Structures are given as C-alpha cells and as structure tokens.
Structure 1
Amino acid sequence: MAASCTQLCLQCRSLLCSKTVASTWRYSTQLRHCTTVTRLPAKILNGSSVIWGNRTTTQARQRWKQQMFCSSDFSTTHLATEAKELSKADVVTIRDAVPVTESQISLDLDAAAELSALEEISNEEAVSISVPSVMPPASTSLRDYVDQSETLSKLVQLGVQLWKLEERPNVGSMLLRLNFNTDVAPRLLFLKDIGVEDSRFGYIISHNPFILTESLENLHARVNYLKSKKFSPETVASMVSRAPYLLNFSVKRLDNRLGFYQQQLSLSASNVRNIVARLPRLLCCSLEPVKENLKVCEIELGFKENEIQHIVTAIPKVLTANKRKLTQTFDFLHNTMKVPHHLITKFPQVLNTKYLRIRERHLFLKYLGKAQYDPSQPSYIALDRLASLPDETFCTELALATLEDFYLFQKTL
C-alpha cells in the first residue's frame, strides 16, 4: 500500500512538472517573439516614421505588457492552483493572456522583412521620397517664403518686385500675414473694376503694398470723390496706375491738395484738373518742395505770375523739379545763351531738359556760328527744337553738320 502511494505521488509530480515546463516554455517563446518585434527598424517614407515600424512596435509593446502581466500572475498563483489542477482531468488548460493569431504572426514577419533605415535604396525609390518644405522662422529675403506662401507666389506671378518690398521695414511680415483670397484678390478686382490694366498690378503693389490693407469702402469713396470733381473714369484709372499712393489718401486730404493748387497758382478748376491728371503724384507728394519751387520761380528766376501759370500748365514737372537743376538750367539759358524770360515762357520744356544736353548743343552751334535764338533774326533756332530733337536730326537740320562732327566736338568739352 505504501509502495503504491509513493508511485502515485511520483506520477503526479512528474505530470505537474511537465505541465509547468510546457507552460513556461510557451510564455518564454511568446515573450522572445514580442521582444524581437519591438526591435524592428521603422521604415521612413515621405519624411515620416509612422508607417510600418511604429505600428508594429506599438502592437508588439502592448502584447509584451500583457504577456509580462500574465507571466507574473501565473508565477504567483501557480502554487495556489497546483492542488486543484491535480484533482482535475489529465488535460489541464492554461489560459494565455493574449493568444498570438496567424494574422499577427504574418504582420510581424512582414515587418521583419522591411529594409533597414541604413540600407542603400535605388534611384527610383530615392526620387519618390518627398520631404515637406517648412517655412523658415526668419529670413532676410522674401524669396525664401515664396514656395510656402500662396500670397507671395501669386504676387510674383503678377510682376511684383519683392526685392523692393523687402527693403522696407515690416512690409515683408505684413505680406506673409495676408490671405490671397480674402485680402489681395478683392483689391485686385477693385483696381480692375475702375479700369486699371492687369499689367499695372505689379507696378502698383511694388511701389505701394499698403493698398492691400486699405478697406474697400475707403477705396471706393476716394474714387467716387475724384469722379465727383469731374475726373473721367479713364483719367482716374490712369492716375491710379501712375501714382500708386493716390488711393491711400483720405477724401479730405485729396480735397485740400486740389484746393492748394487752385489757390497758389490762381488757376481755374479745369486747369487744375489738367495739371493733376498729367502729374497725379502732385496729390501724393509733399507740398514743401512745391512751395519752394514757386518761390524760386518768382523771386530767384524773376518770372511773373502769369508766366509761372503758363510754365506750370505746360510743364507740371517744374513744380517738383530739383531746385539746383532748375536754377542751373535757367542760369545757362538766360545768362549764357541770352534767352529772355518771355522766350523761356514760350518754350518752357527747356526747363525740363537735361542741363548737359542744352550746354553741349549750344556750344556746338556757337562753334559753328549758328547760335541764334532771337525770332527776329535770320537763322533763328527755336528752343523747343533745340531741346527735343534727337542728335542726328539736330545735326542735319539745325547745325548743318554730321553726327560724327558733333561726337568729336563733345570729346573736346
């Protein structure tokens, strides 16, 4: 009886040990499998590492945690359940924490077959890899942002010169904050509606980017004001195209400028409109140079009020001309060429001609003995022709010489 009991105990212990070893082997195998999967390299595609590697690693890590929890639980409860398992059937089922399915095994094998991140790839695969561009946090040039900014890229297509804008403080950051559809496009449509040609958009924005931040209500109000002053729609469009800052001034300021020219020059409203239409920047520029030039014409140059009116009406640029250039040209005309005031008033375009051009031609005519500017004398040469004719025509019609002779004479000056 004792011998039979001893044999039964040995059989039970042998059965329990064999089950324990089998279960432990299965858990160890699964844990090694999980650990192997977690070491798989992640394949990087399109600049991102969230494709195969991270997904497989995440799944393996979860299984590993569950396996570890089950293994620990099995170790602590094994002795407590040993007696109960001996009293059950010969086949004892040990529940797995997370069973490994065939699909998971296939996924792990596929991940293991992936290329290493350090393995050489073909040219085709290298070309297919795209790295998303990132907008630089800071730069000294707007061209670094063109590829990332829809607004800048479309402004370039319109002909905007970014190199001019980036030289101005805070303009670059202002443009980057603008949305093309909500900020830029409505202003461009407004310019088109008032008659500005598409080819002038680039010029206008290059010189006045702040028009993109003006409210449409203000822009419409300023255009309507100019039309109320009897500027035609075609004239308004031309003025805006040639003076980009025109629409940045309030209606009150535009009205004050028109009143200033009418009062200072004692001109009619029609003549003021004519002057401003031909030189629209008169409404944008500072009034101080204009006042100074009017004083120079009256006091230093000695022109009468009606003569100044005629000169300004014919050549509005005299109002904004450089003071030194204006006095230098007049001094040569009046004191060297002996041209009286009334002839200069009759041909005011000579005041807008380059000083060197007038000087060279006069000296050449004097060298030839043809410098005659008095209308009452024979071989009279009109000042407008002296100033405006091209070199070849000047030589053949006025100097009666060849162009080569004129060029040789210029070298002697």
Structure 2
Amino acid sequence: MALSAQQIPRWLNSVKLSSFMTALQLRKGFQRPGKTLLCGVFAQPHASSEDCFLQWGFRTYRTSSMWNSSQSANSSRREINCAQSTLLPSVNEPPQKTQKMPGLDSELSLEGLDDVPPLSPLQPISDEEAVQIIAGPPLPPSSVTLRDYVDHSETLRKLVLLGVDLSKIEKHPDAANLLLRLDFEKDIKQMLLFLKDLGIEDTQLGPFLTKNYAIFSEDLENLKTRVAYLQSKNFSKADIAQMVRNAPFLLSFSVERLDNRLGFFQKELKLSVKKTRDLVIRLPRLLTGSLEPVKENMKVFQLELGFQQNEIQHMITKIPKMLTANKRKLTETFDYVHNVMRVPHHVIVRFPQVFNTRLFKVKERHLFLAYLGRAQYDPTEPNYISLDKLVSVPDGIFCEGMAKASIQDFEKFLKTL
C-alpha cells in the first residue's frame, strides 16, 4: 500500500541516525522481489509511486546520516551517483553488475568517532592515575613575606644567592611589587655588571642591594650620567666606589641635587673645593641625607657652644660626623668637658674626637684621674693628659700610661660609681 503524503514526514522522523538495525529493516521491508539497489537508487525503469516515495526517503536518510562526518567527500560521491542514476539503461547495453550498497554500520561507526565528547576535567580517574599526578605548591595570592614567593621566582632565588636579605626588604610595601616584576636577565644582570665595574665587590653586592633595592627601578643611562658628573668634579674611581658603598642611595639622586649639595657645603662652611670634596668622601651621607640636622648643628656650634667659624671648619674637617650628630649629645658633651673638666675652647678645637665618644666613657676616666690627682688637661702644665688619648686608647694603656695604675684598680673604682 502506497504511503500518503501526510505519512511521509512521520516515517522520516522515526528514522534514527545511530541505529543501524532500523535502517537495515527499512531497506529489507520496502525492497520488492526482482529489484536491485544501485548505489542507493532503484534500477527498475518502471517504478510505482510507492517505490518513488521510498527511494526519496531512503536517499534523504543517507544524506542526513553522512552529513556531519564527511560532508565534502560524501557530497562529491552523491553528485556522481545521482548523475549515474538519471541515465536509463539502453536496450543494447549489457546489464550492469549489481553494486552492493555500502554498509551503514561502517558509516555510522565513523560518525561515532567524530561524536566522541572531549574529556571533562570533572571526569573521575583511577587511584593509579591520581598517584602519578605531580602538582607544585600554589602561588599565594597575598603574603606578608617574600619567602613564600622564592620557589616561584628565579629573580628572588638569585638575589638570595647574592646575599640580599629579603627579610629586611619585605618591610617596605613597594619592594615585593618591584622585585617580583623584574626579570633577572633583562632587568638585573646589567645593573650588577655596572656596580661591579664601579668597584663594588661580589661580597658587597648583597648588603648594597638590601639597602637600595630601588636602584633596579633606575635607568642605567641615568646612573652612568651621575657617575660621569662626579668624575668631572675630580672624584676618582676609588673615591666614587667608597662613597657608593658607604651611601648606597648616592646614585639614586639626580645630577642637579648632587650639584646643589656640593655647592651648599662649600658655601655655608666656607670650604675650598678640595676640602669640600674630602668632606663628602669621608661622609657621603651628607649628599643623601636631610640638611636640617646640618643647619641646626651649625647654629648650635656658633650660638650655644661659642665656637668661631674657622674653629668649626677645623673640627668638621677632622670629624665630619659632628655635622649630623645629635644636638643633645653635642651640648651635653661640651658642657661636661668645658665646664666640669675645665677644658678651654682652643683645646677642644684641637681634639674634636671628644664629640665622637660616648659621654659615660669620658666621665669614668676623668673621675678616675681626678681620684688619683692626675686630671691635668692644660698642655702648658706638667703631667698633661691629652684629650685625644683620653678618649681613644684602650683601658689597659689608659691605666698604665696616664693613670699610672693597674687595670684592676680601675675596675674596682668603677664599681664605686
């Protein structure tokens, strides 16, 4: 019985692409005796309406089943097959050899390979596979120490090998952001070579970079320009290396600031160019630190302690630290030496080392000499005691050479204080 027009869509919808058995049953159910399939098309010249409908339906099924797996190849093959099916066999032409329809199971199996879903990250695995998985420690999203990032950063590991103390650097909030963004080969290697050419030894790189890690944010050409400026002011290479070691932030200041600082000390202290250069070589922190302590101490020397300008020049060229010393320490030391020990200004000017000594040490030795009756600090009088030796020599030499007593007597005296 021929299928009606309304039944054709229902029949097509019932065909499943993944069912080989259903397609095979359809082929056997609608094939009549004496008819042979030629490439998916009925070869009998006189086909009924039912055969036409079945022919069209079977071709539609094959087209839809083969589209996803091999669209281009099957399209070409269908065009060739359709062209052959439109040619009716002639009477004189020998009967063609019957071709067997390609197995739908092979086509469906190829489609199945294409339709295999990718492996999901949530797919369960066996215990053996789980044991073989090696996962590194995760990078912490935030941390209060750089130690957690050393295993993940080649830059930090190499800085540690150079002797950089990360425990001191991590106290600065911007240090971690700077160092973790640096590439050792691109950003750090050239800087290290520059510092070595400047005169910084391998053993000094660690302490230097610990104090001035921010030098990696400086442009290398700017650093070379600042070194060239110091050389133009007759600072030797050894002088620059010494200054950079003692004041790691020196090269972080611009040429304009370095020039202003040198001009300030030369003008305010009324020093010559050579004495100004010697002053900053011995205390390069004068170029990098604040000028407020310097200005305040200059007023203290003149107004409170009563020294003249030339006396101040003489003292600071011998002891540059007097410019940055604590104001209270300066006044207390001067008060004791001048008012208690009765040492005049001109003697203090000759031996300014007394301002660079702890006051309790000066008191202990002076009281011991006074107890022995040998506290004589006037160079014009006999048994003169030099302020320089009073504050600089060890206890043994002080007792034997100045106090003329044993060190045991000095220690017993100290217990009475």
Residue matched to 1:96? 105
Please give the secondary structure, in 1, of the residue aligned with 2:369: helix
- Equivalent residue for 1:352? 356
Amino acid aligned to 2:223: L
Amino acid at match of 2:105: D
**Within 2, Cα distance between the matches of 1:176 and 1:375?**
63
Partner of 1:6: none
Residue 157 of structure 1 and its aligned partner are, at CA, apart by 1.0
Report 1:115-134 matches (<5 A): 117-118=126-127, 130-134=134-138
Partner of 2:22: 75
Cα deviation code 1:60-115 (max 9, x no counterpart): xxxxxxxxx764353355234345398789x9996434799xxx9xxxxxxxxxxx
Would you say the 8 A contact 1:70–1:97 is kept in 2? Answer: no
Matched, 1:332 2:336: yes
Which shows bigger deviation, 169-178 or 129-138? 129-138
Distance 1:314 1:72, change over 3 A: same
CA RMSD of aligned residues (A): 2.8
Whole-Å Cα distance in 2 between the matches of residues 330 and 298 of structure 1? 13
Aligned to 2:152: 148
Give yes or no for the alignment of 1:259 onto 2:206.
no
Whether the 8 Å CA contact 1:392–1:403 is kept in 2: the answer is yes
Question: Offset of 1:146 from its aligned partner?
Answer: 1.1
User: Aligned partners of 1:186 and 1:85: how far apart in 2?
Assistant: 89
- CA-CA distance at 1:293 after TM superposition: 0.5
Structure 1's unaligned 5+ residue stretches are 1-68, 105-115
Q: Which residue of 2 aligns with 1:230?
A: 234
- Contact 2:226-2:254 at 8 Å conserved across structures: yes
Partner letter of residue 207 of structure 2? Y
Tell me whether 1:369 sits opposite 2:373 in the alignment: yes
Aligned residues: 328
Relative to the length of structure 1, the TM-score reads 0.73
Whole-angstrom CA distance in 2 between matches of 1:280 and 1:398: 36
Partner SS for 2:151: coil
Deviation string, structure 1 residues 264-297 (Cα, Å, up to 9, x no partner): 1101000000000000110000111100001101
Q: Which runs of 5+ in 2 are unaligned?
A: 1-15, 37-97, 114-124
User: Equivalent residue of 1:308, what SS?
Assistant: helix
* Counterpart-to-counterpart distance in 2, 1:358 and 1:85: 130
Equivalent residue for 1:246, pick from 245, 250, 267: 250
Percent of aligned pairs sharing the same letter:
53
Code of the aligned partner of 1:325: K
- Per-residue displacement from partner, 1:149-193 (whole Å, max 9, x unpaired)? 111111111111111111112111111111111111111111111
Cα separation, partners in 2 of 1:72 and 1:408, compared to 1, 3 Å? farther
Instruction: Tell whether 2:393 aligns with 1:389.
Output: yes
**What's 2:10 paired with?**
none
* Deviation of 1:403 (Å): 2.3
Secondary structure of the 2:19 match is: helix
Take 1:158 and 1:130, find their aligned partners in 2: how far apart are those partners?
Answer: 31
1:85/1:92 contact within 8 Å kept: no
Matching residue within 294, 299, 313 for 2:298: 294
- After superposition, give the CA deviation of every residue in 1:203-234 in whole Å (9 maximum; x if it has no partner): 22111111111111110110000010011111
Aligned counterparts of 1:246 and 1:405: Cα–Cα separation in 2: 49
What's the TM-score, normalizing by structure 2? 0.73
Give 1 or 2 for the bigger CA radius of gyration.
2
Would you tell me which structure has more helix in proportion to its own residues?
Answer: 1
Q: Closer, same or farther in 2 for the Cα pair 1:378/1:98, shift >3 Å?
A: farther
Q: 1:85 to 1:72 in 2, by over 3 A?
A: farther
The residue aligned with 2:169 is: 165
Contact 2:20/2:104, CA 8 A, preserved across alignment: no
